Structure 1
Amino acid sequence: MKFIDEKLRAPPRPTAHVPAKPAISAGDCGLLLVRITFGLLMAGHGSQKLFGILGGEGLDATGRGFAALGYHPGAVYAALCGGSEFLGGLGLALGLFTPLAAAALIGVMINAMATVTAAHGLWETNGGVEYNVCIAVVALAVAAIGPGRFALDRPFRWGRGGWPEAAFAAFAGGIGAVVVLSL
């Protein structure tokens, strides 16, 4: 009986060769490079304001600068801006709480555009808004794409990116900027 069953059984179908996905793709490395570059640059800007390192003036001098821009008390807003840049930058670089990190950077960049660089136009050599726009767009794009394979967020739902994560980053960053600008 076994012999007859083996003869009646259909031969196995040939399977198409499916190339294996590489362990590490160029996209994974590219996204990591973008996250680390923008994230650490922003964390550096924040550390200048907060700690006076990397050529920064520190919290007291930065607070006086914020007060001159109309942010009162200046030291509080300098700490808020520096903290948002520092923690948002580190979060983006590490791929940790990515939508929240992106929101922090977006909010700071909206404020910077509204109070400092908007008067200079888009491509002004003395500080137009193009720099701020680029940072905000990169932060939003990373929230939308997701932080990638080499991120601490990878095991979590928000670590895959998507429309909800991008919407959260844009909305929270925008609301934060509106609150700060209206105070």
Structure 2
Amino acid sequence: MTRANEVKTPEERAAEALAARSGHEEPCGVEWQRAGGPFRPAASGSTPPASATPSASSSRSSAPTRSSARTEDSDANVVPVPQLIRDTVLLLARVVLGVVLVAHGLQKALQGVSATAQGLGGMGIPLPEAAAVITMAVEIGGGMLLILGLLTPIAGVLAGLVLAGAVVFAHVSNGLFAADGGWELAAGLGVGALVLAVVGPGRFSLDRLLLRRLRGPESPAAP
């Protein structure tokens, strides 16, 4: 018996000791498993598989991703701007840009298509009659849409394209300053229109009102 006890493994001796304490010959429903150290008893089915438990490393690796995304978003505005001020500035930009466009369009319309086409042709713009009609329509119609904040992306892109054509065909050869027929005014108006098309009209606009109607009543935020 002494020889038999000597050749028993540590697991067998531990099982016998556990059975002696519990009054059974063998530990009932006991499994032996190694978990980073010496063997220890564990109830059958009590230990979940390793794949079911989320590892700490995966949760730690996801945290820097979320924080870096927030950092990239916040880099766009170095100085936080309140929403009210942002919307007010967008409204002011829309109104000023739209008024200038409408004024230039009405000026051409009062001169008439023929006189406007003649002036555009003298500046080297191709198809002057068609260019005159398109320019007047975009300046008057697009300017009104920008003032109202209605279909802002479309109005901004169309105004930007028309003004880009004016810069390329009529003003770039005259230098920078508008007093000499240069490109500064047309380029500034065109870039401003494109910025509004990309950024949006803000809350004080018909676009925002239509969007809220299409979305319907907003559901209350979840706690």
TM-score (normalised: structure 2): 0.53
Q: Quote the Cα distance in structure 1 between the aligned partners of 2:88 and 2:200.
A: 13
Larger RCO, structure (CA 8 Å, separation 6 or more): 1
What is the aligned length?
130
Shift of 1:71: 4.4
Q: Distance in 2 between matches of 1:108 and 1:80?
A: 8
Q: Distance in 1 between the 2:193 and 2:121 partners?
A: 27
The alignment partner of 1:125 has SS state of helix
Pairwise mapping of residues 12-161 of structure 1 onto structure 2 (< 5 A)?
25-50=84-109, 52=110, 57-71=111-125, 73-123=127-177, 125-154=179-208, 155-156=210-211
For the residues of structure 1 that align with 2:89 and 2:132, how far apart are their CA atoms?
32
Give 1:94 deviation, angstroms. 0.9
**CA drift at 1:73:** 4.8
Name the Cα RMSD after superposition: 2.1
CA distance in 2, matches of 1:156, 1:133: 31
Query: Tell me, which stretches of 5 or more residues in structure 2 are unaligned?
Result: 1-81, 213-223
- The TM-score, its normalising length taken from structure 1, stands at 0.64
Identity of aligned residues (%): 36
SS at match of 2:179: coil
Query: Could you list the runs of 5+ residues in structure 1 that have no partner in the other structure?
Result: 1-21, 158-183
1:66 is displaced (CA, Å) by 2.2
SS in 2 for 1:147: coil
Task: Report the CA distance shift for 1:132/1:72 in structure 2 as closer, same or farther (over 3 A).
Answer: closer
User: Which of structures 1 and 2 has the bigger CA Rg?
Assistant: 2
Higher percent of residues as strand:
2
CA deviations on 1:110-150 (whole Å, 9 max, x unpaired) are: 11111111101223631221112211111111112110111
> What amino acid does structure 2 have at the position aligned with 1:30?
V
Query: In structure 2, the residue corresponding to 1:122 is in which secondary structure?
Result: coil
Q: Note if contact 1:49-1:58 (Cα within 8 Å) is conserved in structure 2.
A: yes
C-alpha spacing 1:153/1:47, structure 2 compared with 1 (3 Å): same
Matched residues in 2 for 1:69 and 1:121: separation? 14
